[in-house]
Amino acid sequence: MSEKSKPSVLFVCVHNAGRSQMAAAWLTHLAGGDVEVRSAGSVPADAVNPAAVEAMHEVGIDMSAETPKVLTVEAVQASDVVITMGCGDTCPVFPGTTYLDWRLDDPAGQGIEAVRPIRDEIERRTRVLLREITAPPSSRA
| Per-residue model confidence as pLDDT tens digits over 82-140 | 999 976 655 667 777 898 999 999 999 999 999 999 999 999 999 999 999 988 766 54
64 assigned to some structural domain: yes
Task: Select which of 25, 48, 71, 87 is catalytic.
Answer: 87
Q: Is residue 1 included in any domain, yes or no? A: no
Question: Is the CA virtual torsion 57, 60, 64, 67 positive or negative?
Answer: negative
Q: What is the pTM of this model?
A: 0.90
Assess if residue 126 is contained within a domain: yes
- Evaluate whether residue 108 is within a structural domain: yes
Q: Is there a catalytic annotation at residue 139?
A: no
Range of the domain at 12: 8-139
Does 87 participate in catalysis according to the annotation? yes
Work out the pLDDT band at 44, boundaries 50, 70, 90: very high
CATH number of 64's domain = 3.40.50.2300
Does 38 map to a domain? yes
Any domain includes 118:
yes
In tens, the pLDDT along 45-76 reads: 999 999 999 999 999 999 999 999 999 989 98
Q: How many domains, the chain?
A: 1
Catalytic site residue from 10, 13, 76, 129: 13
* Rounded Cα gap, residues 72 and 80, in angstroms: 15
State the catalytic residue, choosing from 48, 91, 122, 130: 91
Q: Within a domain: residue 91?
A: yes
Does residue 27 carry a catalytic annotation? no
Cα(39)–Cα(20) distance, rounded to whole angstroms? 6
Those residues with Cβ within 8 angstroms of residue 77's Cβ, 6 or more apart along the chain or in another chain:
94, 97
Domain annotation covers residue 2: no
What is the greatest pairwise CA distance in the chain? 44
Size of the chain, expressed as the number of residues it contains: 141
